Amino acid sequence: MKKVELLNLKGEKVKDINLNEEIFGITPNKAVLNDAIILTMASLRQGTHKTKNRSEVSGGGRKPWRQKGTGRARQGSIRAVQWVGGGNYGTPVPRDYSKKQNRKERQLAIKSALAEKVNAKEIIVVDNMEVATPKTKEVLNILETLKVTDKKVLMVVKEFSENLILATRNIQNIVLILADEINVLDVVGTDVMVITEDALKYVEEVLK
């Protein structure tokens, strides 16, 4: 049974928590995890890139000069790709970059990401993340107490508080999300995950 310490915001141990073996005790599936990362990154691409081809640029409509007798190369339209101001050929057009992955694979991927975090001892569970004021300094003090000031931190809570949102928004190395927003890209893209006890219970309930 995998265990992790439950800490308070002073960095003191409150108790040990048993982690769900079906989530944190599995052998990470690297292939499925990699597919999920690619899927998530692909879904962030807008795919709205576009250039005009020869049918879309202005001009043309008639042959610029006759076919023979001028000594110049034959031309059919000033909208051809070799002309200045002509259309483009083989350039990007709008497309959908999204990929598909079935529900069981997506669930296995997030379990694998969480299992890797536990194996690397990169999960810190705290009893709460309540800050009394909306000051950045208060959160920085918490990070210093937990010894993660120099790391990129994924902070997972069950519910947002206005003070917490305001206190973390100017800290570049913190990603603040709700427990129901937890995703593979944020988990693998940060150095350490700081999660509240109730958020951890929610994640285990959803993924079990």
Closest CA relative to residue 190, chosen from 161, 165, 153: 153
Q: Whole-angstrom Cα distance, residue 6 to residue 28?
A: 24
Closest CA relative to residue 155, chosen from 122, 171, 184, 177: 177
pLDDT, tens digit (0-9, with 9 covering 90-100), for 157-203 = 999 999 999 999 999 999 999 999 999 999 999 999 999 999 999 99
pLDDT, tens digit (0-9, with 9 covering 90-100), for 129-148 = 999 999 999 999 999 999 99
pLDDT, tens digit (0-9, with 9 covering 90-100), for 75-93 = 999 999 999 999 999 999 9
Report residue 208's pLDDT band, with 50, 70 and 90 as the boundaries.
confident
In this prediction, residues 48-59 reach a mean pLDDT of 93
**Residue ranges matching CATH 3.40.1370.10 in the chain:** 3-45+101-207
Is it true that domain 3-45+101-207 has CATH number 3.40.1370.10?
Answer: yes
Indicate whether 66 pLDDT > 80: yes
Closest CA relative to residue 57, chosen from 42, 74, 75, 78: 78
